[in-house]
Amino acid sequence: MPEVRTLPCAGVLGMGSVLMQDDGFGPYALQMLLARHTFPQGVRVEDLGTPGLHLAPLMEDLDSVIIIDTVKGDREPGTVQTYRRDQLMKLPAGPRASPHDPGLHETLLTLDMAGRCPTEFL
């Protein structure tokens, strides 16, 4: 029998490795948020580390999600940027080999095909 939820389930998820300097920003940001804020029931705040293959199951029960992570881009280091789901889906999935793989793009594709992708994503 499927689980019945009475509250929407939202996630604030930090990704990254604290051993890899700036790649640990997601976990550090979560520590600061948890030290200063109390989150309501129905909001899951979690340090995911570098989840790789485990990312899809960690997101599949969420209605909305905020992921805090670092990205390599063309902006000044330390620049805060937000991406919506549709922007991430337009990025090409290229060959990679890191502890993050498969990445967020591949995870969203997997969840979308399974009909389990969060409806709101930031």
Q: Which has the closest alpha carbon to 22: 102, 67, 79? A: 79
From residue 2, alpha-carbon distances to 10, 43, 56, 57, 61 in Å are 19, 20, 19, 16, 12
Quote the CATH superfamily of domain 10-121.
HybD-like (3.40.50.1450)
For the chain, which residues make up each domain, given as ranges?
Answer: 10-121
Q: Among all chains, which residue has been given the structure tokens 């989150």? A: 39
Most confident of 56-60, 63-67, 101-105, 116-120: 63-67
End-to-end CA distance of the chain: 31
- Give the pLDDT confidence of 59-90 residue by residue, as tens digits: 888 999 999 988 877 888 888 888 888 887 77
